A and B are shown apart, each in its own frame.
Chain A
């Protein structure tokens, strides 16, 4: 059976060989430091390259958007939301006429907000429509009563003359 080399002889040979190939005078620190700076460099320059006013503009935009969103969901904001973004149609115009007939009161102007889909036959239907929309929007604000003065403050649409 073949003998193996004694451990101490291998140990000495390996250490002598390693010491001769890699002298202790070799210093890696300057290279490591440079590599770390090269890695960190692009990130630092990227942050520094953005002008200060861009940061301010971004921050202001974000704050403005947050403020608008908060206002829109507030009770006051809900009150100002349009109830009906649709443009006037002949059906809505007919509903306006029906409302005028039902109340017996001439309305100088009415918005399309009260008559979104199926034309309300009278003002009660219009009031119900407003109430439904306010409930769907989750607003607990006091609903505007669909009285003539209130309607008159809404954005007016042309009301066709009664036939």
Chain B
């Protein structure tokens, strides 16, 4: 099951479950304000999940927006006794994989202004640390772009969304053995591609 990232929950305060239930109930009544609560709760996690798989900022935003609009249209089919996050993030992962397959190409993950974005999230770091983070992220982006979309999805589900093998197999609709094999291949590939300074000391 996909767990909510703590940083995403900080948006809405002390009682996330009850507030989420209320938001879903409002949405089922056609109140668009319920969707606003869900957007502010899960948009960061959804955007990062989509971006890690597709490597394209604009595409990731478009996918997440589209999934939210579909949530608004199909909320009547959602069983409110079940948690919202797994259902929603499964839609994000599947839509992102479909979008990448539609494009039929590996999307380059390199960016033009990485140092600027690093600065936004690393306000307390000195220049050396910022440059090191930018370099690390740039290398990781290039490395992830060498993986297949399926391997990237496996990495994201395991290391970003913290899913187990069984949960991942349900999300990606394949056997746990396949998941373990994909993860193993992806990790080996990362080790081959990442420079030695990013790897653990022997």
Chain A interfacial positions (CB closer than 8 Å to B): 2-7, 9-11, 13-29, 31-33, 35-36, 39
- CB-CB under 8 A from A17, the residues of chain B are 52, 136-137, 140-141, 144
Query: What CA separation (Å) do A13 and B195 show in the bound complex?
Result: 13
- CB-CB under 8 A from B64, the residues of chain A are 28
What's the A-B contact tally at a CB cutoff of 8 Å?
113
Selected contact of A10 from candidates B69, B114, B121, B159, CB within 8 Å: B159
Can you list 8 pairs linking A and B with CB atoms under 8 Å apart? A20-B114, A20-B117, A20-B122, A21-B141, A22-B60, A23-B120, A28-B43, A36-B32
Query: What CA separation (Å) do A31 and B68 show in the bound complex?
Result: 11
User: Could you tell me the distance in whole angstroms from the C-beta of A15 to the nearest C-beta in chain B?
Assistant: 6
The total of chain B residues at the interface (CB under 8 A) is: 50
Say whether chain A's binding surface is mostly helix, strand, loop, or mixed.
helix
List which B124-168 residues lie within 8 A (CB) of chain A. Answer: 133-134, 136-137, 140-141, 144, 155-156, 158-160
Assuming the contacts A2-B188, A19-B121, asked whether A14 and B137 have C-beta atoms less than 8 A apart, the reply is no
Asked whether any CB of chain A lies closer than 8 Å to the CB of B178, the reply is no
- CB-CB under 8 A from A2, the residues of chain B are 188, 191-192
Chain B interfacial positions (CB closer than 8 Å to A): 7-8, 32, 35-36, 39-40, 43-44, 47-48, 51-52, 57, 60-61, 64-65, 68-69, 72, 111, 114, 117-118, 120-122, 133-134, 136-137, 140-141, 144, 155-156, 158-160, 184, 187-188, 190-192, 194, 198-200
Selected contact of A4 from candidates B134, B144, B184, B198, CB within 8 Å: B184
Contact status A5-B140, CB under 8 Å: no
Assuming the contacts A9-B200, A25-B120, asked whether A18 and B48 have C-beta atoms less than 8 A apart, the reply is yes
Assuming the contacts A7-B159, A27-B43, asked whether A20 and B118 have C-beta atoms less than 8 A apart, the reply is yes
User: Could you tell me the distance in whole angstroms from the C-beta of A39 to the nearest C-beta in chain B?
Assistant: 7
Highest count of chain B CB atoms <10 Å: which of A16, A28, A33: A28
Query: What CA separation (Å) do A153 and B156 show in the bound complex?
Result: 91
Assuming the contacts A4-B187, A14-B140, A32-B69, asked whether A21 and B48 have C-beta atoms less than 8 A apart, the reply is yes
Query: What CA separation (Å) do A39 and B137 show in the bound complex?
Result: 38
User: Could you tell me the distance in whole angstroms from the C-beta of B131 to the nearest C-beta in chain A?
Assistant: 13
Contact status B187-A10, CB under 8 Å: yes
| 5 shortest interchain CB distances as A-B pairs | A4-B187, A18-B48, A11-B159, A22-B47, A24-B44
